[in-house]
Structure 1
Amino acid sequence: MHTDIHAFCRLGIVVSMAYPSCSNSEQDYHESLKKLLIDPTFQVMEIGSLPFSSLYESVPAMIKSAHCDCTYSGHSLLFAKKLNINSLDEEERVQAVQTLKKGIDEAYAMGAEEFQFLSRGYEKGKEASYLDALIASTNELCAYAKSKGSMPVVLEVFDHTIDKKSLLGPSSLVKKYAEAVCPAYDNFGIMIDCSHIPMIGESIDEAVEPIKQYIKHVHVGNTLISDPNHPSFGDYHPRFGYPGSENDTEYLAAFLQKMKDIGYLTEGGKNILSFEVKPQAGEDADLVVTNAKRTLQDAWRRVQ
């Protein structure tokens, strides 16, 4: 495409992934966020539970001053407490739901336009039971978010067997899940990430077609799954073209073409397309972010 991709979506970036050092101190967080906010490439900052309490006032103010938007990821809330939102243990499931409800409160307080979460672990052979538990939890979260305002809730699809080992997962399960939740809640949708698709073992078409009408948010990134002994193996989001990795310009172009074909990327559209990229050992974060922007430009030129 020769038209600027900004005419088809809003570009975003996951702040803590792009600049892992932002969790070191309040100053590091401010400096990292500012680098992204002064770059007009980005219209959306993807944040989550903040590492220092003082940031809850300054971060939303910075984002607002830059005329930028933000979303809120609740993933770390579950990771930190090792909670399973689709647990078959009802006490744990309820605790996970309550934890994410607090995250929804934070998201509203910070002015976020969307709340994100993910499914968690499962036992092979019991996927149906775990899916029922996830549906019950999601219904509660959607109802709670709706009671507070108009902020949508989205579930991000992760890998099923490699790293996060999340229930969702394969598109067949994602479809059953979305079909169960969406008729009851119009504030719900699915997030996909092109870095997770190779980990699930699906092609772009296999991952997208069954759930295309439910996709409300998209991440782009890369993964390395060719060598289980490599320190970047799994869900570590290396830069595009990282040695031994799966995704580079050609793959990203094919993914963007699919997003355009299904109407997610459409001229005049405001859907979010966000980078999830992370510097690997010894890499410079600024260069990794630039890699992402340059790769996106090159890939977008190939989209018809």
Structure 2
Amino acid sequence: MKESIHRYFKIGTIQWMSYPGVPVLDTLRKLASDDFFDAIELSQIQNSVERAQAKKLLEQANVTVCYGAQPRLLGPGLNPNALDESEREQAERTLLEAVDEAEYLGAGGIVFLAGKWEAETKEQTYIQLLKTTRKVCSYAAKKGMFVELEVFDYDMDKKSLIGPAPLAARFAGDMRMSHGNFGLLADLSHFPTTYEDSRFVIRTLRPYLTHFHIGNAVVKKGAEGYGDQHPRFGFPNSANDISKLMEFFQILKEEGFFDTERPYVLSFEVKPWKDEEPDLVVAGTKRCIRRAWNLLED
């Protein structure tokens, strides 16, 4: 493409994935100072002083803020589709708190993920997830905010209730019957983990997609980095490379997601593996994005 990718998308990164274990203010300052990034995705900041400083920093940078509530669930092992009501309500509470924190930080909504998938209780837990999501969407709607569910694998790593893509589409359709402020986040790094490809996922989920991630995964059993670990592009035995990234962009173009007036957030979710240096992994991912975009036909 001759035109810049920034014309059609707000390019971002996931702060806690790009710089794991690094103080949040240090990484936000670094990312917000880099004009490659139109958006920054962050999660819970427990220290109130740091939270206030982060808010000020993000405002100064004039960057789009996104809030990922996934760590609030994954860290303590909370399940928004738990059959036990007390467990479900605990997950619901942290998501409602996430909406409040997201609002404070300047985000337009939150992203979360479903809890565990089990074949014998699939339909019951589906109903529980609808209950939680409707409550969170109703609360967010009062603030003019949005709620998005990220589609994960169901049997490889996270073993989440939602996806694969057809089930995610069913869930989103049910949610849209009652809440217009609900959408889905599709992540290229998860397509190999659900045994799907870009064309199938994007076409299946098309009416409900509101947010995108790109990244990589190793799905070769026994190989280093196996599962939903988000290694860099070019990682040994990994599933996604520049050609897969270019294909992803091509499908987005074909399906009408190139929007100059209201560009979608498209963030890379890439994590340094073991002793890899975060700055080098971030720089390498930028190079892959530029290369894949440049190979895309006008």
- TM-score scaled by length of structure 2: 0.96
Which of 288, 292, 297 matches 1:299?
Answer: 292
Q: Is the 8 A contact 1:9 1:272 kept in 2?
A: yes
Over 4 Å off, 4+ runs: none
Q: Tell me whether 1:270 sits opposite 2:263 in the alignment.
A: yes
Q: Tell me whether 1:174 sits opposite 2:168 in the alignment.
A: yes
Structure 1 residue 30 displacement after superposition: 2.2
**Cα separation, 1, equivalents of 2:194 and 2:134:** 25
Q: How does 1:1-304 map to 2 (within 5 A)?
A: 1-22=1-22, 28-147=23-142, 149-228=143-222, 230=224, 232-304=225-297
Structure 1 residue 37 displacement after superposition: 1.0
* CA root-mean-square deviation: 1.3
Gaps spanning 5+ residues in structure 1: where?
23-27
**Cα separation, 1, equivalents of 2:100 and 2:269:** 24
**Cα separation, 2, equivalents of 1:265 and 1:163:** 31
- TM-score scaled by length of structure 1: 0.94
Q: Is the 8 A contact 1:7 1:269 kept in 2?
A: no
Say if 1:297 and 1:268 are closer, same or farther in 2 by CA, change over 3 A: farther
When structure 1 is superposed on structure 2, of 163-172 and 200-209 the one drifting more is 200-209
Q: Is the 8 A contact 1:260 1:266 kept in 2?
A: no
**Cα separation, 2, equivalents of 1:269 and 1:112:** 16
Q: Is the 8 A contact 1:160 1:166 kept in 2?
A: yes
3-state SS, counterpart of residue 31 of structure 1: helix
Amino acid in the other structure paired with 1:249: I
Structure 1 residue 52 displacement after superposition: 3.3
**Cα separation, 2, equivalents of 1:46 and 1:286:** 17
Amino acid in the other structure paired with 2:9: C
Structure 1 residue 139 displacement after superposition: 0.7
**Cα separation, 1, equivalents of 2:67 and 2:51:** 12
**Cα separation, 2, equivalents of 1:266 and 1:291:** 26
Amino acid in the other structure paired with 2:149: L
**Cα separation, 2, equivalents of 1:210 and 1:247:** 20
When structure 1 is superposed on structure 2, of 63-72 and 258-267 the one drifting more is 258-267
Structure 1 residue 51 displacement after superposition: 4.9
For residues 27-66 of structure 1, give each alpha carbon's deviation from its aligned partner in whole angstroms, at most 9, with x where no partner exists.
x322222221111010111001025332110011111111
Q: Is the 8 A contact 2:109 2:140 kept in 1?
A: no
**Cα separation, 1, equivalents of 2:46 and 2:19:** 13
3-state SS, counterpart of residue 70 of structure 1: strand
3-state SS, counterpart of residue 139 of structure 1: helix
3-state SS, counterpart of residue 228 of structure 1: coil
For residues 147-193 of structure 1, give each alpha carbon's deviation from its aligned partner in whole angstroms, at most 9, with x where no partner exists.
2x111100000111111110111111111101100121111100010
